[in-house]
Amino acid sequence: MLACRGASVATVTVAGQRWYGVSAQDLTQSISAHADRVFLLTPFDPVVWDRLRFELFWDWSFRFEAYTPAAKRIRGYYAMPLLWRDIVIGWGNLSAKQRRLQAQFGYVSGQAPQKGEFRFALKHELQSTSDFLRLTTDFEILNS
């Protein structure tokens, strides 16, 4: 979402730490183009992998737990942050069973947004993921 063709790189220094990012104008154009979409971000996405920046932006910590013993995992083996509009509101764990996508979600607030726009956008993201993985056209949300 943050990648824009022809975008300029902006820099800012806060408390002695230099940060790089897309300029505000380029970012605004990119966000408005995808305003109501939901994105499942890989743990290796630039929005996610810098843990300090992630925590500063969204006020909660996210850790990649694939190498964490199962009993100590908080969010799941391969949890992916869930971005809606301009906020990472939770995480999702996806799996495929008998060529059917299964999804489990957790939310920072404790529950999914109740807006119809969110449900529609989440279904669109899951359908896109199913299509990309060449799974069946139906998917199952195990909790939400």
Domain residue spans of the chain = 1-33, 35-143
pTM (whole model) above 0.85? no
What rounded mean pLDDT belongs to the chain?
87
Closest to 78 in 3D by CA, of 97, 89, 91, 88: 91
Q: Which of the four pLDDT bands, split at 50, 70 and 90, describes residue 47?
A: confident
The confidence score (pLDDT) of residue 132 equals 94
Tens-digit pLDDT profile for residues 126-142: 999 999 999 988 888 88
Integer angstrom CA distances of residue 30 from 9, 33, 44, 49, 85: 14, 5, 20, 20, 11
Bridge partners, 10 (sequence order):
21
Backbone angles phi, psi at 130, to 5 degrees: -60, -45
Query: Which is nearest to 122 in space by CA: 43, 25, 36?
Result: 36
Long-range contacts made by residues 59-67, C-beta under 8 angstroms, separation at least 24?
Answer: 60/88, 60/108, 62/88, 62/91
